[in-house]
Amino acid sequence: MLGCNQNICLLISCIVFLTSVHYLSAYSCEFNVRMKQALKNEGFHRNLTYGIIFNGEDDQCWLFKDCILGLEQVLPSGVYANPDELSTLRRNNKINAIPKHQVNIELPAEKSPPTVTYVIEKIQDCKVYMWLPVHARYHIALYGGGMTRNKIDPPKLYLRCPDQRLEMCNKAAKPVNFLCNGSSKEKCSWKEIPYSVMSDSIVWKIPVGDMDHYSKISVGTALVIAIGSLYLIKAIHEHKLITSFNPFNNPLS
């Protein structure tokens, strides 16, 4: 014998077994993905940003390398992403974002449904930064004006990888089909991945026009137009008087 007492051998194989089980389960599903979402800039045109970290601590981002990340962002009625702007950004290789359905950017918030936009990016490192330009919709004026609260929820996070490496992970999650990227109409199979949100929920307060102001403004506008017209009529009248007394201008002479 090599001095391997049967109990010790059993213990060692036990440890080896447990370690590999631990490894496999870590491989199969401890994604440990974290995201910080923020709304930058001021005013009616803003920048929705996403900072995403994959397995930061335990150095396992190889699991995600060369995979494609797809965010499915729902925007509330008061906020939209402009499809024309997104297609320009895609053409210039700035961001790869695509509206899920047609988006009517003219509609006021009260008449618009929430919309969905995909933002897609390849994972190169353990960290990915993504962004989406968003705009406030016009809100129908109310008496008293005020603000509306538009809550932007965290997106759903999907992955697709060039090989089968995610097959054994998250078996319960059914693959979902949607666009592969913005450059083709082709659809790909994606898998939803759980993650932790590391930021506060985003609430964008958008000012609503005040109907009281509008009525004052309309009365003011009407007055200006009326006075202006009176002034014009008076001027035309005076001009006519002058020209009719001018003998050189008299068509009859």
Binding residues for ligand NAG, per CB under 6 A?
40, 47, 49, 129, 131, 133, 180-181, 183-184, 186, 188
With left for phi above 0 and alpha for psi between -120 and 50, is residue 111 left, alpha or beta?
alpha
Contact 151, 75 (CB under 8 A): no
What is the pairing mode between strands 45-54 and 33-40? antiparallel
Shortest distance, position 6 Cβ to ligand NAG, whole Å: 56
What is the pairing mode between strands 45-54 and 96-99? unpaired
Q: Check residue 164 and report its DSSP letter.
A: S
Q: Give Cα separations from 208 to 83, 153, 165, 204, 227 (angstroms).
A: 24, 22, 49, 13, 31
Cβ-based nearer residue to ligand NAG, 26 or 178? 178
Q: Which two tokens stand for residue 227?
A: 């006075």
Please count the residues of the chain.
Answer: 253
Cβ-based nearer residue to ligand NAG, 40 or 144? 40
Shortest distance, position 83 Cβ to ligand NAG, whole Å: 16
Shortest distance, position 133 Cβ to ligand NAG, whole Å: 5
Cβ-based nearer residue to ligand NAG, 81 or 208? 81
Cβ-based nearer residue to ligand NAG, 81 or 169? 81
Shortest distance, position 40 Cβ to ligand NAG, whole Å: 6
